[in-house]
Structure 1
Amino acid sequence: MFGGSFDPIHDGHLMMAKNALKQRKADELWFVVSAQNPFKEGSSSFHHRFKMVQLMIEPYHKMKAIDLESKLPLPSYSIDTVRILKAQNRDCEFEWLIGSDQLPTLDKWKDIDELNQRVQFIMYARDFNIETQFPIVTGPVLPISSTEIRKGSITKTSPRVLQYMTKHSLYLDEILRNRVSQKRYEHVLRVKEVALELADAHNIDKDRVTLACMIHDLCKEDSKENLLNTMKSNYPSQVGLHPAFYHGFAAASELSKKYYVRDKQVLNAIRGHVNGASTNKIGMILYIADKCERGRGYDSEPLITLSKQNLVGGFKEVKKAQDAYLRRHNE
């Protein structure tokens, strides 16, 4: 058994599991996904964390995910989980895989003496140079943390997990916060607010709209050099565009290459959000919301109301107003 919140599961977890399975000659390895306080800010639901574990281990027939802790009252403890699993699987001999970083606090686990009697703890470490009473499984300790994945700093997990994250709008807030200024972050949230109102009015998938909104300005504050290099590498035929367009292309490229997003409407919406070049429904919603979010300093409610009633008509009116604004400021 390998317990954890797995928020999300990553390559380091999988490495530990594979080495433990092999070195302990176990029949199976069970990922015991822990219950988590649903009111904890920024945490993902049990359902999403459990599903990501399933996606990660899908190719490995000796691994499976256990959802028992989602059915236990909070707070749930490892001893409760072990008691139930042993009662349900009387012919099984259980071992509990832990990392060496958990050793200093192990004595604080609830009913640790009983837990020691019911399961054999197995210690995962880089090598055998560690003092412990437990059997050791050795292997690389990858410098990966779920926290860094949630921030968007690294993507060291399965492409299936990354696709799931973006499809269900997981961690987008943290990814954005880690990348842009507070002012830009607040703008994006206001864009999302208007966009979701429009999505609701026109029955458009809110997760897809949320993804487009949260990512559209992800690269807005990247350096000019980085944006230009991205354009040269990924959109050489578009390098001649005004640099104000670059960040949309860069964000779409990052979403596609880092997170394996293949939703053409979302990607086109992000690429075309500056000038309304994308006329699919998500593209029109993003363009309208970006130009009409309620922090722009003018009364945008008439345009928002029109767009809720008639998306295409609202889109055209917003473009007309934006073109007039640009002409005035370029004179």
Structure 2
Amino acid sequence: MSKVGILKQAFNPITLQDIDFAKKQIKKLKLDKVYFVVLKDENKPKKKDRKQMVSLALEDIDNIELIKEKDSNIECVYLNNKNSININKKVMKGDFTLLDEKVKDYILDNCFYFKTIIRNNLRDNRYKHSLSVSKLAVELARAHNYDEKKAYTAGVFHDICKELPYKKTMELMKKHFKNKLKNPGYLFHAYLGMVFARDKLLIKDEEILNSIYHHVLGTDDGTLSKIIYISDKLDPSRGYDSSYLIKLSLKNLDLGFKQTRYESNRYNKEKN
């Protein structure tokens, strides 16, 4: 009779640490295999999606499988991965380096955990602003036949580094953008937001990265960059009437972008 380990978790999502833990238990306990059992979880994504992510992560691993416990006529050793909670917390802060690449891609393709990640990095008003920006970005993308998923992703994460502590902000600026330290401080979160998206969320799409990097001043003429700039500046939750410029942007993106930049620059000059 085979001796196997049973690891029952929500796997929300499965991480590289889960796999490493199982491999170590196989060696330590002299197991033939470890079976992963995906438990119910009231939080999204649904169980079928979490099972799919587990399947993707285990594709190239011979002695770890996704299986229902009741299907196995085996001697079972139940395993307890105590570190999974701490690793999961890091993932829910946006550290996708802890995930298998196929799992990471599945998450990004389905926009899983996005709201949780910004909720864990931003205060309530900034969280709501980010959701509002992403909503308008999707509307603009739909109006101009652009990829709605990319617009949503960029909109959600455009301010992800807005509330980094000053010390951490300067540490990262010195590491990644030493030549931009003399630029106004209000630009730093955009620069670092791009780095976060690239190095933590592992987003490779250059249009998404550029749109986050340029969203404060609108200094990029790519379609997504225009969409995110407009959505940020005209966000209805800001409390002023931006309906005219939103309608203009929905009809003509280029004209809406130019007019929004003009109005924003005029407002900033008057304020200063």
Deviation at 1:35, TM superposition (A): 4.8
The aligned counterpart of 1:131 is none
Structure with the greater alpha carbon radius of gyration:
1
Q: d(CA) in 2 for partners of 1:300 and 1:30?
A: 55
Q: 2-side partners of 1:168 and 1:278: how far apart?
A: 27
Counterpart residue number, 2:3: none
Equivalent residue for 2:180?
238
Q: 1:282-326, CA deviations, whole angstroms, 9 ceiling, x for partnerless residues?
A: 211111110111122322111111111121221111111111112
Change (3 A) 1:154 1:269: closer
Contact 2:246 2:256 in 1 (8 A): yes
Q: Distance in 1 between matches of 2:221 and 2:51?
A: 36
Residues 176-224 of structure 1 deviation map (CA, whole Å, 9 limit, x = unaligned): 1112111111111211121111122123222222221121111112123
1:28-39 equivalent positions in 2, closer than 5 A: 28-36=33-41
Taking the aligned partners of 1:278 and 1:170, their CA distance within structure 2 comes to 28
Counterpart of 1:306, as a letter, is L
Residues of 1 paired with 2:237 and 2:153: CA distance?
A: 20
**Number of the residue aligned with 2:19:** 14
Percent of aligned pairs with the same residue?
28
Q: Which runs of 5+ in 1 are unaligned?
A: 67-80, 87-92, 95-119, 126-139
- How is 1:150-189 mapped onto 2 (pairs within 5 angstroms)? 150-152=91-93, 155=96, 157-160=98-101, 161-189=103-131
What is the match of residue 270 of structure 2? 328
Match of 1:45 in 2: 46
Match of residue 123, structure 1, among 63, 78, 81? 78
1:217 counterpart letter in structure 2: D
Size of the alignment, in residue pairs?
265
Which residue, out of 216, 223, 232, partners 2:165? 223
Aligned to 2:66, the other structure's residue is in SS state strand
Q: Tell me if structure 1 keeps the 8 A contact 2:97–2:202.
A: no
Shift in alpha-carbon separation, 1:323–1:54, aligned structure 2, 3 A: same
Q: TM-score, normalised by structure 1?
A: 0.72
Higher relative contact order (CA 8 A, sep 6+): 2
SS in 1 for 2:254: helix
Shift of 1:168: 2.6
Taking the aligned partners of 1:166 and 1:149, their CA distance within structure 2 comes to: 16
SS where residue 31 of structure 1 aligns? strand
Aligned to 2:210: 268
Which amino acid is 2:65 matched to? K
Is 1:62 the counterpart of 2:63? The answer is yes
TM-score (norm 2): 0.86
Q: Using the alignment, how far apart are the partners of 1:30 and 1:46 within structure 2?
A: 16
1:132 is matched with none
Q: Distance in 2 between matches of 1:163 and 1:236?
A: 31
**Matches of 1:123 and 1:31, distance apart in 2:** 10
How far apart are 1:156 and its partner, in Å? 6.5
The farther-off stretch of 280-289 and 163-172 is: 163-172
What corresponds to 1:98 in structure 2? Answer: none
The structural deviation recorded for 1:60 is: 1.3
Change (3 A) 1:223 1:299: same
How far did 1:146 drift?
5.9
SS of aligned partner of 1:259: coil
Q: Distance in 2 between matches of 1:159 and 1:250?
A: 24
2:140 matched residue in structure 1: 198
Q: Given that residues 278 and 284 in structure 1 are in contact (C-alpha distance below 8 angstroms), is that contact kept between their aligned partners in structure 2?
A: yes
SS in 1 for 2:238: coil
Q: Which residue identity is paired with 1:302?
A: Y
Q: 5+ residue gaps in structure 2?
A: 1-5
Alignment partner of 1:121: what SS? strand
Following the alignment from structure 1 to structure 2, what is the Cα–Cα distance between the partners of residues 227 and 255? 15
Whichever residue aligns with residue 9 of structure 1, its letter is I
What is the match of residue 148 of structure 1?
A: 89
More helix by share: 2
Which one of the candidate residues 240, 256, 267 is aligned to 1:314? 256
Structure 2 vs 1, CA of residues 43 and 145 (structure 1 numbering), >3 Å: closer, same or farther? farther
SS of 2:219's equivalent? coil
Q: Aligned to 1:301, which of 232, 243, 248? A: 243
Pair 82,166 (structure 1): closer, same or farther in 2 beyond 3 Å? closer
